[in-house]
Structure 1
Amino acid sequence: MRDQLERALATASEFLEGREVFGLRSVGGGSVGSTWRLTLNDGEELFVKVAHTANLLAEQSGLQALRHWADPALIEVPQVLGCVPLSGKSALVMAWWDLNSGDQFSLGRGLARLHRASSAGGPGRFGWDHDGFIGLGPQPSGWCDSWGDAFTQLRLQPQLCLASEWGLAEQDWECLLRPIAAWLNGHAPEPCLVHGDLWAGNAAVLADGRGLLIDPASWWADREVDLAMTRLFGGFSRRFMEGYSSEWPLPDGAEHRIEVLNLYHLLNHANLFGGGYQQQSRKILKDLRRALL
């Protein structure tokens, strides 16, 4: 892979601009693809992600949308410099950023400002134009005028249908979709552009103190989906929420909606990885049956 990638990058005129590839080394890999640190002969370093083309095109679309609405004084969203074809895959080329383990206040402020700006100038409905991915899981396109319908039809139901492969029967969840939709519609959120996969591995603090967002699964949704996911796997500090709340506090009742919003991510993990995520998903569905039926 390294030799093939280096040859492909060496002929990528869209970001080389007359420069040459000086070095390339692996910096990790995961379920979606591999990542690399590219050094050019003038000393500039770039970040390269290799994955299936469809995954990278969806990621590029999300990055471009987030970058459009982000305030660069508070938060950085990488600009895509090039997308280089490989055999059966592609390589997405972006700037290299030096990370810090510092204060997450600007990260929280920047996310809130992104949410607020996009809510004021967005499409006024919930959904996304193109099919995408949440990790390796499918994230279907489509549009809905109401938040509850968008979340149940475009996010929960596709994952629940996939869960039949590990034994989750339709009768365990079909009766819940309408009550969940009605309950979520009750607080009438504004459509915002969300990151969509906001766990700690997809957000960071830069050396200059600004926040960084990467690897989105973006769509137009209730902003609470991003904040709920920050509570799912940890890694976000009290300062992050202080920063967010200083720009746009969450409405009353947000705490009560966290579990159902995170059910989407737990189901996706259950469908991809199995294990304890399946038990967690079953428990939340049981809790929802008790609360809503």
Structure 2
Amino acid sequence: MKLQSGVAEFGQLRDGIHRAVRPDGGRIFVKVRHDMPADFFLAEARGLAVLSSAPLRVPDVISVWEHGIALEDLGRGRASARDWENAGRGLADLHCSAGERFGLDSRGWCGDSTQDNTPDEDGFHFFAERRLLAQGRRAFDRGLLEHDDMRQLESICARLCEMLPKQPPVRVHGDLWMGNVHACANGELALIDGGAVHYGWAEVDLAMLTLFGEPPASFFCAYETAAKIDKAWRERAALLNLYHLLNHLNLFGASYLGGVRTVLRRYS
């Protein structure tokens, strides 16, 4: 995907969130940031394109340029129980789309952190090197983790295949906390903020949906029925969420250190 010029229409906007109305009456949601690299919003546009063929709704990308992205404004509503059930089935369908390798053909962004998506045929190696150790080394270099923390993290990474089941690479959102499951004006649930999209383990999406709050039980019931999996994924969620805890440690500081160390002690 190439950058589409948005400078003519939106180039003078200041950093932040903006809303506008198009001549045809359609509403636009515009995000602008001048402090991020040129591929930051491009990664979001690519990710939304990867997600767009799934039953779950995603906003249309109207324009993307070096410092911003203009999206369809989905409005804001309240999801019903049926909407949550539909979303559970939709996520299961999204995870049916398998890839040949883990990763993607370009780097992504998980929040404000770069995400190395270099393709890999081995899911355990991919998750260890591109996710856990990448964040761990970053935190150690910044003085946020100590030598003993890194020793425990490396021990976990060496034994991932003993603690996690072998899974194929499937299309995942990659940053699927509750804030990225958006209730549209009609109540339909949509996926937003696609910068972390890649081919990975389906359970990474399920796990993150339990990290900062979680959907109603009906969502998971619908997912588990459609995907034909059992509830054992919850037992592994804390280990999979270690990536996001490390990322939050790097982004927001020592308030996340206790959570990181709890997981390190549990699995090392």
Is the shorter-chain TM-score for this pair beyond 0.5, marking a shared fold?
yes
Displacement after TM superposition at 1:48 (Å): 0.9
Structure 1 unaligned regions, length at least 5: 1-5, 13-23, 27-32
**Residue 146 of structure 1 pairs with residue 122 of structure 2:** yes
CA contact (8 A) 2:79 2:189 kept: no
Pairs within 5 Å for 1:39-54: 39-51=21-33, 52=36, 53-54=38-39
Displacement after TM superposition at 1:7 (Å): 7.6
Structure 2 unaligned regions, length at least 5: 1-5
What is the RMSD of the two structures over their aligned residues, measured on CA atoms? 2.3
Query: What do the CA deviations read for 1:65-120 (whole angstroms, capped 9, x no partner)?
Result: 0113x12xxx21122111244xxxx221111112222221111111111111x12x
1:20 counterpart residue number: none
1:92 counterpart residue number: 69
2:107 counterpart residue number: 131
Give the 3 Å change call, closer, same or farther, for CA 222–8 of structure 1 in structure 2: same
Higher RCO (Cα < 8 Å, 6 or more apart): 2
CA contact (8 A) 1:193 1:223 kept: yes
Instruction: Choose the corresponding residue for 2:136, options 160, 167, 186.
Output: 160
Q: Percent identity?
A: 34
**Residue 236 of structure 1 pairs with residue 221 of structure 2:** no
Pairs within 5 Å for 1:1-293: 8-9=8-9, 34-51=16-33, 52=36, 53-68=38-53, 70-71=54-55, 75-85=56-66, 90-103=67-80, 104-116=84-96, 118-119=97-98, 122-123=99-100, 125-164=101-140, 165=142, 166-169=144-147, 170-184=150-164, 187-216=165-194, 217-251=196-230, 253-289=232-268
Task: Report the AA paired with residue 222 of structure 2.
Answer: G
Task: Report the AA paired with residue 270 of structure 1.
Answer: L
SS of the counterpart of 2:151? helix
Alpha-carbon separation, structure 2, partners of 1:84 and 1:128: 21
CA contact (8 A) 2:174 2:205 kept: yes
CA contact (8 A) 1:147 1:181 kept: no
Alpha-carbon separation, structure 1, partners of 2:11 and 2:138: 41
Displacement after TM superposition at 1:243 (Å): 2.5
Alpha-carbon separation, structure 2, partners of 1:211 and 1:258: 23
CA contact (8 A) 1:192 1:221 kept: yes
Give the 3 Å change call, closer, same or farther, for CA 35–235 of structure 1 in structure 2: farther
CA contact (8 A) 2:21 2:27 kept: yes
Displacement after TM superposition at 1:238 (Å): 1.5
Alpha-carbon separation, structure 2, partners of 1:288 and 1:260: 7
CA contact (8 A) 2:29 2:72 kept: yes
Return structure 1 stretches of 4+ with deviation > 6 angstroms. none
Q: How many corresponding residue pairs?
A: 252
CA contact (8 A) 2:78 2:186 kept: no
